[in-house]
Amino acid sequence: MTNSRSLAGYLAAAWALSYGVVAAVWALTGDGYPFGANNPDDQLHPLRAVPVDIGAAVYAVVLLGVGVLALASAGRHPIRPRPILLGAGWAAVAALVVLVPSAHILAVAGYTPMLLIGAPFGWPSDIDYGVIFNWTTANEVWAIVGGLLLARALLTWRGPVRSGPVRWGTWVTYVAAAIPALYAVTRLGLAVGVALGLIDDSFDDPDMALAATGLGGFALVGTWLTIGLVHPWGERFPRWMIGLSGRRVPIKLATIPATAVAIAVAGASASFLSDPDLIGDMASGEIAMWPMAFWPLWSVTLLLAAYAYHRRRTAPTGQAVTGSAVGIEARTASSTGVAESPKVASASVVSSTKGRSH
């Protein structure tokens, strides 16, 4: 545990201190700061109204402070993780993964698969990749990486994390799955020419129709994968996946993408909620905009769903019998033809006698 804590702390410190020096150079020279007036293409960025000189200076101070905090959590004799220090650390994590990124990150994540698929066919016909993948995008992604490193350092600093299934895992997962499904309905509706409040001639453009179709389709895939967090195919690959059928799904293969999407949605939520015009569009009855009002809830529930999945999959055997993991394991073994081990069989018997599950 000591080695893990030290490594997490040192990695977070190295990231923060090096990036803090870069931010200090921005503040001193006035060049390079990627947000505010230096990012005129993103009118939804939460930091768009912050003057460049103030933003760069605050950014440098926060990063250097984070570096000191991360160093304090590392080593053989770290200082005691007092609540005020942990609170400051988690506030920095929230700023790095929610306020520094913007809706641009979610847009890049949503459109990149379509751009890769469409590129050989010349779609979209007119696009400037320099606007999509630019200096601001690189810094937003780098801020998210640092926020995750700091989160890891804070978790290891605090001590062992609880394990075992949670009672709320199933319902929170279904909430997280329902919101992208609602978004998919509105985008697929636009793709077939249904007016859902966005009356704009640009939607007659074939490129826009294809984009709406792609966004709706990927949102439905996201819904299906989210539901998998509480179903057998989320723990063992289904039999139609040749070469993987019956094998256990690596835990990180499910939790890392879910966490990444939750972070991207959180940043987009901060962008949308900081724009009075978008809030007005939602309030005025533009149905196609309504799903975005639920994005903060989507972000939180998806993150909780990934956390519940991780706790269930990593639960000790003695704890697993009190949750839904055994039931999923048994159903998965039955559906994939995998023989049930004596340990799982005995756990199933114990679970059935308890007559309850989380």
Residue 14, exposed/middle/buried by CB under 10 A (0-12, 13-18, 19+)? middle
Name the token pair of 307. 């956390």
The whole-number pLDDT of residue 206 equals 67
- Residue ranges of domains in the chain: 2-103+129-158, 169-354
- Greatest CA separation for the chain: 70
The whole-number pLDDT of residue 201 equals 53
- Which secondary-structure segment (H or E) carries 80? none
What are the DSSP calls for 108-131, one per residue?
HHHHHHHHHHHGGGT-SSS--HHH
Find the angle CA(81)-CA(84)-CA(85) to the nearest 5 degrees: 50
- Residue 244 to residue 227: CA distance in whole angstroms: 20
- Residue 327 to residue 42: CA distance in whole angstroms: 47
The whole-number pLDDT of residue 204 equals 58
Tens-binned pLDDT, residue by residue, of the chain (358 aa): 456 668 889 999 999 999 999 999 999 998 999 999 998 888 889 999 899 999 999 999 999 999 999 998 886 677 887 889 999 999 999 999 999 999 989 988 888 887 888 777 777 777 777 777 889 999 999 999 999 999 999 998 877 767 778 999 999 999 999 999 999 998 888 777 654 444 455 555 667 777 888 889 999 999 999 999 999 989 999 888 888 888 999 999 999 999 999 999 999 999 988 888 888 877 776 777 888 889 999 999 999 999 999 999 988 765 543 444 444 544 444 444 443 343 333 333 334 434 433 4
pTM beyond cutoff 0.75 = yes
Closest CA to 89 of 104, 113, 67: 67
- Which secondary-structure segment (H or E) carries 280? helix 276-283
CB atoms within 10 A of CB 311: 19
The whole-number pLDDT of residue 260 equals 95
The whole-number pLDDT of residue 244 equals 87
The whole-number pLDDT of residue 271 equals 93
